[in-house]
Chains A and B, each alone.
Chain A
Amino acid sequence: MKVVVCIKQTPSTTAVLTVDDSGHVSWDDPGGKPNILNPWDEYSIEEGVRLKENHGASDVIALTVGPDESKNALKTCLAMGCTQAELVTDPSFEGSDTVGTARILAAAINNIGDVDIALFGKQAIDGDTGLTPVQTARKLGWTPLTFVSAIKEIGDGQITVERLVDDGKETVTASLPVVINVVKEINEPRYPSLMGIRKANRANIPELGAADLSIDGGVGSAASKVDWSHIYAIPPREGSCEIIEADSVEEQARLLADKLFEEKVI
Chain B
Amino acid sequence: MTNSLYFTEEHEMFRQTVRRFVETEINPHVEKWEENRTFPAHDLFKKAGDLGLLGITYPEEYGGMGLDYWYQVVMLEEVGRADCAGVPMALAVQTDMATPALAEYGTPAQKEKFLTPAISGDAVFAIAVSEPDAGSDVAAIRTRAVADGDDYIINGSKMWITSGTQADYLTLLARTSGEYGFKGMSLIIVPTDTPGFSVSRKLEKLGNHSSDTAILTFEDVRVPQANRIGAEGMGFILQMRQFQKERLAGALMSVSGMERIIRMTIDYTRQRQTFGKPLIDNQWIHFKITELLTEVEALRQLAYHCTRMLVAGMDLTKEVSMAKLKAGRLAREVADTCLQFHGGMGYVEEYPMARYFRDARLLSIGGGADEIMMGIIAKYEDILPGR
Contact = CB atoms under 8 A, between A and B. Distances in A.
Partners in one complex: yes
A193 B51 contact: yes
Contact of B10 (A76, A191, A193, A197): A197
B39 interface: no
Interface string B36-55: 00000000000000111100
B65 A191 contact: no
Nearest to A76: B13
Nearest to A202: B10
Given A193-B50, A193-B51, A198 B17 contact: no
A122 B208 CA distance: 42
Interface in B1-31: 9-10, 13-14, 16-17, 20-21
Report which residue of A192, A193, A194, A198 has the largest number of chain B beta carbons within 10 angstroms of its beta carbon.
Answer: A194
Report which residue of B13, B21, B53 has the largest number of chain A beta carbons within 10 angstroms of its beta carbon.
Answer: B13
Indicate the size class of the contact surface on chain B: 10 to 19
Contacts of A193: 17, 50-52
Interface of A: 75-76, 79, 191-195, 197-198, 200-201
A195 B13 contact: no
B316 to A, nearest CB: 25
A198 B20 contact: no
Given A76-B13, A193-B51, A194-B65, 11 more contacts: A75-B13, A191-B16, A191-B51, A192-B16, A194-B14, A194-B17, A194-B67, A197-B10, A197-B17, A198-B10, A201-B13
A197 B20 contact: no
Contacts of A191: 16-17, 20-21, 51
Contacts of A194: 14, 17, 51-53, 56, 65, 67, 71
Contacts of B51: 191, 193-194
A175 B272 CA distance: 61
B43 to A, nearest CB: 16
B116 to A, nearest CB: 15
User: When A and B form their complex, which 5 residue pairs have the shortest distance between CB atoms, in order from nearest?
Assistant: A194-B52, A193-B51, A191-B20, A197-B13, A201-B10
A195 B50 CA distance: 9
